[in-house]
Chain A
Amino acid sequence: MDEHQKGFLTEVLNTGAQRAGAVLGELVQRHVNLSVPDVDICPVADLPGHLSLFQNDQVTSVTMGFSGVLSGDAVLLLSGFSGILLTQRLMGGATDLAEVQEEKQEAISEVGNIVVNNFVGAWAEVFHDRFTFGLPQFEECGLNELLDARISGDGKQRTHAIWANAHFDVSEFFIVGTLLTLFDQASVERLVGAVSSSQAAR
Chain B
Amino acid sequence: MAKVLVIDDSRFQRKWIVKAVQQLGHCTVEAVDGRDGLGMLDAERPECITIDLNMPEMNGLEFLENLQAQNLRPPVIVITADIQKDTREQCRLLGASAFLNKPFKPGELHDALAKCIDLESKDGV
Stretch from B7-15, B62-70, B117-125 contacting the other chain: B7-15
| Residue of B with least CB distance to A109 | B10
- Chain A contacts for B102, CB-based, 8 A: 110, 113-114
Is A69 engaged at the interface, CB distance under 8 Å to the other chain? no
> Which residues of chain B in 62-92 are interfacial with respect to chain A, using CB atoms and an 8 Å cutoff?
80-87
In the assembly, what is the distance between CA of A130 and CA of B90, in Å?
A: 11
In the assembly, what is the distance between CA of A116 and CA of B54, in Å?
A: 13
Is B103 engaged at the interface, CB distance under 8 Å to the other chain? yes
Q: Is the CB of B56 within 8 A of A110?
A: no
Q: Is the CB of B103 within 8 A of A23?
A: yes
Q: Is the CB of A124 within 8 A of B86?
A: yes
- Chain A contacts for B87, CB-based, 8 A: 130
Q: Is the CB of A114 within 8 A of B85?
A: no
Q: Mark A27-68, 1 if CB is under 8 A from B, else 0.
A: 100000000000000000000000000000000000000000
Q: Is the CB of B12 within 8 A of A27?
A: no
**How many pairs of residues, A versus B, come closer than 8 Å at their CB atoms?**
48
> Which residues of chain A in 80-127 are interfacial with respect to chain B, using CB atoms and an 8 Å cutoff?
90, 103, 106-107, 109-110, 113-114, 116-118, 121-122, 124-125
Q: Is the CB of B85 within 8 A of A117?
A: no
- Chain A contacts for B81, CB-based, 8 A: 113-114, 116-118
Is A189 engaged at the interface, CB distance under 8 Å to the other chain? no
Is A149 engaged at the interface, CB distance under 8 Å to the other chain? no
| Chain B interface, >50% SS class | loop
Q: Is the CB of B10 within 8 A of A106?
A: yes
Q: A109-B10, A113-B10, A114-B103 are in contact. Are A135 and B84 (CB under 8 A)?
A: no
In the assembly, what is the distance between CA of A23 and CA of B11, in Å?
A: 20
| Residue of A with least CB distance to B9 | A135
| Residue of B with least CB distance to A24 | B103
Q: Is the CB of B54 within 8 A of A118?
A: no
| Residue of A with least CB distance to B89 | A130
Instruction: Please name the 10 residue pairs, one residue from A and one from B, whose CB atoms are nearest each other, closest first.
Output: A117-B81, A106-B12, A121-B83, A130-B86, A114-B81, A124-B84, A110-B10, A113-B81, A107-B12, A110-B12
Q: List residues of chain A with CB under 8 Å of any chain B CB.
A: 19, 23, 26-27, 90, 103, 106-107, 109-110, 113-114, 116-118, 121-122, 124-125, 130-131, 133, 135
5 A-B residue contacts at CB 8 Å?
A27-B103, A106-B11, A124-B85, A130-B86, A130-B87
